[in-house]
Amino acid sequence: MNDLRQLARVGDEDLAGQASGAGARTLLASIIAEEPVKEPRRPPWKRLAAAGVVTAALAAAVVLGPSILNTPGSATSYANAAMDIKLENGMWVARIKDPFADPARYEEAFHAVGLDVKLQLEPASPRQVGEIFQLGTGGDIGQSSSIAIDSDPKDCKITAPDCTMVLTLSQNASGAWIKAGRPAKADEPYANGNRATMDGGSLAGYTVGDKQVSEVAAEAERRGLKVVYQIVQPQPDGGYAMNPDDQSAAVGQDWWVWDAEDAQLGVVRLLVSEEHVIRK
């Protein structure tokens, strides 16, 4: 006879909340009345080993229970020092609490709610903070998915201390990787090139094309900007090529400016060539 199966006649409901209910008394009477089974004497360590197996099985059940209930994806919210993510009105809403955090902390938060999403925030000019530079997809993500960056409060400047960057994702966005702009520290070069002459740029409202270095550099300095250079090689089709390592030292004041980029906070990069090419 299987002794454990026989003892299982009394359920938890019979014992819950009472030390000596009817179920407990029945169990006690059954134990006392049952004739002991005569068996050859065995060394006590064998009985202890058997008891140890039962104890270990019960302990395993206690440990595994919560981990099975809290599988990845079962949560609808999660927060750590870097990000707070919640399911709101059918969309995942991630509030970036620390835009300078290790990307692994963002990934941790996404995984906690069942999303395989990678977020990388890189230094950007003020105009590009909160913009998505690159977006990749994989896994089950489809054309109908939605990924966007906004601010909280609405329409505040993300560079302001009391303004929070907010990333919203549809529930089928798992598999996405996102590269976006964050505020840059004072000594950080911007990760994504941004034309300095566009609205919000450091040379906004100023035209640099077909002007000599001396003239454009004077305007930049008037605006309190430091000037660095990138030498370009004119191409037959009117475009140009650049070698990132070919910069600065040999640039003369009579060279010609092709364009201007915001390089980092307070620094503008002029794209220049010695040859003057009239572009159509």
Distance CA 256, CA 277 (A): 8
Residues 91 and 40 in one domain: no
Task: Report yes or no on 193 lying in a domain.
Answer: no
Residues 52 and 147 in one domain: no
Residues 167 and 227 in one domain: no
pTM: 0.64
Residues 255 and 215 in one domain: yes
User: What distance lies between CA 76 and its chain's CA centroid?
Assistant: 16
Average pLDDT for the chain: 77
Total domains, the chain? 3
Task: Report yes or no on 159 lying in a domain.
Answer: yes
Residues 87 and 138 in one domain: yes
| Of residues 120 and 21, more confidently modeled | 120
Task: Report yes or no on 190 lying in a domain.
Answer: no
Q: Which domain holds residue 24?
A: 3-69
Residues 178 and 103 in one domain: yes
Amino acid at 139: G
| pLDDT for 4 beyond 80 | no
The DSSP H or E segment spanning 273 is strand 267-273
Q: What is the pLDDT of residues 51-109, one digit of tens each?
A: 343 333 333 333 333 323 334 456 899 999 999 999 999 999 999 999 999 999 999 99
Task: Report yes or no on 246 lying in a domain.
Answer: yes
Other beta carbons within 10 angstroms of residue 126's beta carbon come to 19
The DSSP H or E segment spanning 150 is strand 147-152
Where do we find the tokens 């006879």?
1
Q: Where are the beta strands (DSSP E) in 59-145?
A: 77-79, 83-88, 91-96, 118-124, 132-136
Residues 38 and 82 in one domain: no
Q: What is the pLDDT of residues 224-265, one digit of tens each?
A: 999 999 998 877 776 777 777 766 568 999 999 999 999 999
Residues 147 and 121 in one domain: yes
Residues 147 and 231 in one domain: no
Residues 127 and 175 in one domain: yes
